[in-house]
Structure 1
Amino acid sequence: MFVRRIATALAIVLAGYGTAAAQAPTRIEQFKAWGAYSYKSNGGTVCYVLSVPTAKEPPAVDHGDIFFIVSQRPGQNISYEPQAMMGYKLKDGSKVNVTIDSKNFVMFTKDKAAWVENAAEEPALVAAMKGGSSMTVKATSARGTPTSYTYSLSGISAALSKIETCK
């Protein structure tokens, strides 16, 4: 099941970046809960780390495939961009809240994805991920259902280190 989720995630990532000329992603290495991946797109390399939640709330709802990704696209001057990807459409105008320890981060939503609202806070979110043990992501579906996901942060530092020199 994990392999199917990762394959789905890779397809979603490629589609999300408009990568018609992209090659299939390659898994670089798995670091506990986080995997490091790369693919070629328009002559450049995109690297990212990805994980799936360890818990989903509410349990009786079909959440689809849920992922949290941190990508690095050196050719576009993008370094460590966090993104939450849901298996359902998010409520228009809603926010996604990410909590690590006592630190909170707000993400804006579009369709099935969310990004840090204030891009200047991206490094702080990544630093919190590296220093934390678990992360909670709360969202609201287009149907108005509140959802919550728990991610293990075990392996995130090693996975991010692996893609640090992405070229």
Structure 2
Amino acid sequence: MLRSLARLSVLPVLVGLLAAPAQARESLGLYGTWGAFRDPLIPRCYAIAMADPSQMKRDYQPYAAIGTWPRRGARSQVHLRLSRQLAANAPVTLRIGGRRIVLTAGAGDAWPRDASGNAAIIAAMRSAPSMTVNARDARGRPFSNTWSLAGAASAMDAALIGCARLR
């Protein structure tokens, strides 16, 4: 419970990284370790969660976001902000629900290579207990970030419903 509260207390900071002016953002709810938000001025909706705490040195605050942009026709797009600056051309792998999915990456971010990879991740997030990214940082050291998926399905659904009528 404390770990969840600690993560949620930093959630507004993460939302600020992704959002337009604070007054434009609307909360759609908190679900386990995940939150759902809507920015009607953009318009977009997203589910977001911080990575599990780690004792490792970090360059960035790691989070996972699943975004929908109605005007672009983009739904449930996976984006991961990792805790470290990535090594150039180093592979980044997501482990989720017994699967390993190779991601595209740049700087400190990662995302699926294509629509089928994105769909596989979204489907696995609905039933897996957690997901972990493994990569190498700019100094060549291996690192990982893990996200609990408790509440992820509900937050993703809330984000989709929140943008269903926005155009």
Decide: shared fold, TM above 0.5: yes
Q: Deviations over 1:140-164 (max 9, x none)?
A: 2222221112211111111111112
In structure 2, relative to structure 1, the CA distance for the partners of 1:129 and 1:50 (3 Å cut) is same
Q: Which amino acid aligns with 2:44?
A: V
Q: Residue in 2 aligned with 1:18?
A: none
Q: Where does residue 17 of structure 1 map in the other structure?
A: none
8 Å Cα contact 2:97/2:127 also seen in 1: no
Look up the equivalent residue of 1:158 and give its one-letter code.
Answer: S
The answer to whether the 8 Å contact 2:82/2:145 transfers is no
Corresponding residue pairs, total: 156
Instruction: Tell me, yes or no, if the aligned pair for 2:37 and 2:46 is still in contact at 8 Å.
Output: yes
Whole-Å Cα distance in 2 between the matches of residues 35 and 55 of structure 1? 17
Matched residues in 2 for 1:87 and 1:101: separation?
A: 22
The correspondence for 1:9, drawn from 14, 22, 35, is 14
The aligned counterpart of 1:54 is 52
The structure with the greater share of residues assigned to strand is 1
The Cα offsets for residues 100-147 of structure 1, whole Å up to 9 and x where unpaired, read as: 121111111112211101232211110000011111111222222211
Cα offsets for 1:39-61 (capped at 9, x unmatched): 134xx4111111112243xx342
Match of 2:117 in 1: 121
Report the CA distance shift for 1:148/1:35 in structure 2 as closer, same or farther (over 3 A). same
Higher helix fraction (1 or 2) = 2
CA, structure 1 residues 27+67, in 2 after alignment: closer, same or farther (shift >3 Å)? same
Residues 96 and 138, structure 1, Cα contact 8 Å, conserved in 2: yes
Aligned residue identity for 1:148: S
Corresponding residue SS for 1:131: coil
Q: What letter matches 2:11 in structure 1?
A: I
The alignment yields a C-alpha RMSD, in angstroms, of: 2.0
Are the equivalent residues in 2 in contact too, given 1:23–1:40 (CA < 8 A)? no
TM value normalised by structure 2: 0.82
**TM-score under structure 1 normalisation?**
0.82
Equivalent residue letter for 2:142 = P
Q: Compared with structure 1, are the counterparts of its residues 33 and 4 closer, same or farther at alpha carbon in structure 2 (3 Å cutoff)?
A: closer
Unmatched 5+ residue regions in structure 2?
A: 1-5
User: CA–CA distance in 2 between the matches of 1:60 and 1:162?
Assistant: 32
Letter in 2 for 1:33: T
